[in-house]
Amino acid sequence: MKVKEAMGLLTVQICIKMAIATMSIKISNRRRMAVIGMGYVGLPLGVTFAESGISVVGIDVNASKMARLNVGDSYIEDIESSRLIPLVEQGLLAGSTDFDLLPSVEAISICVPTPLSKTRDPDMSYVVSATEQIVPRLSKGQVIVLESTTYPGTTRDVILPALEKSGLKVGKDFYLAYSPERVDPGREDFTTKNTPKVLGGVTPACVEKAKTFYEKAIDTVVPVSSPETAEMVKLLENTFRAVNIGLVNEVLLMCEKLGVDAWEVIDAAATKPFGFMKFTPGPGLGGHCIPIDPHYLSWKLKTLNYTARFIELASEVNTSMPEHWVKKVQDELNEYSKALKGSKILVLGAAYKKDISDVRESPALDIMSLLLEKGSLVEYHDPHVPSFKEHGMEMESVNDLDKALGEADCVVVVTDHSFYDWDEISSRSKLLVDTRHVTWRV
């Protein structure tokens, strides 16, 4: 049972206010590990180590989140409050905004955001800021591991020079490594604990020290020869997905021109037991990895006077998909002599993938924004996203789905949540555009 259910919302709010008020009080018992950045990556990592008996302090500039952590109230869907409560009660996990806790720990993992700027360049400000907090507090023997997704060379060229300003030497006084996060929100079969962990150290001693520490909580650690190799591993994984999704999205566009069912083609091709891996078309890319990570690699290669052509082309195809589906809505309405402008459009799903609440880079938001620009009357429904404020839009999910389905001139399926009864939606919709191929009206 979640904390909010057990204690009541009011009690939780009081506890959080008390926790914020006492946030400056140092955690008295020695912690073995600090995780800087307690979001989608940092919290699961901290919980995994704490469940292995390693005492962890999570450090984040968001005092409200750290207060929630300290009363066992999870703010991440993948981590139930029922997992946090015993760890907090046993003193194995705590949250703080105090970087002065760093000198006493054995290992520090950096799990801060690495977004792209408006010009699609890497924004390393969070990594730099975290490193600057570590430098004056760096202690002999500490293991420092960067987990944030970044371009090859970041660990050695950005973090290492800063840490060595402390006067300590890498591989001798402290140990620096890179280990890419492999979090897949909403997934239950592969977690932080049982997903193999790639790890590359600046020196052989660095990778050995980091490997020894991570093996205390992670089932399989995969050492590689350098941090650059580990950084490239992460970018290859997500570039592989982005390029293949771009491929099947273009196959969809080609099949429409040819009058062929793209999903039938893909399903038939997937019967081949070798040499083919199934990817499916959709509304575009979403989330914090696939739409962003390949651009780190592309940016780095541009500095070396090389154009990553597959990445650029896949990005072009994938980012065009919301426009394709809006055009599809327009064409469907035209068949019934209705204009897109002024029509009521119901979008099903705001999250970037099924059964989660994450709207980062969600193509659903792009589709809604484009529809609004064209004068449509747009509503959305998502059981996991009650409201959002993104892309210059501020919207709330409709309360009455049945009523919204009956009133909509066209329903657009963007996120295939398990919540939805697709047969019911198919039969209730006047017009339906299905970007996920989950209804019988596609």
- Residues marked as catalytic: 289
d(CA 356, CA 350): 10
Residue showing tokens 């119901």: 346
d(CA 442, CA 437): 6
Helix (H, G, I), strand (E, B) or coil at 387: strand
Cβ atoms 222, 197 nearer than 8 A: yes
Q: Which two tokens stand for residue 21?
A: 């008020």
d(CA 71, CA 54): 19
Helix (H, G, I), strand (E, B) or coil at 349: coil
In degrees, rounded to 5, the angle at the alpha carbon of residue 269 between the alpha carbons of residues 265 and 270 is 120
Helix (H, G, I), strand (E, B) or coil at 415: coil
d(CA 303, CA 37): 29
SS3 letters for 223-281? Answer: EECCHHHHHHHHHHHHHHHHHHHHHHHHHHHHHHHHCCCHHHHHHHHCCCCCCCCCCCC
Cβ atoms 245, 318 nearer than 8 A: yes
Q: Which residues on adjacent β-strands are paired with residue 313?
A: none
CB neighbourhood size of 259 (10 A): 6
Q: Which residues on adjacent β-strands are paired with residue 348?
A: 381, 413
Q: HSE on the CB side for 216, CA within 13 Å?
A: 21
Cβ atoms 425, 413 nearer than 8 A: yes
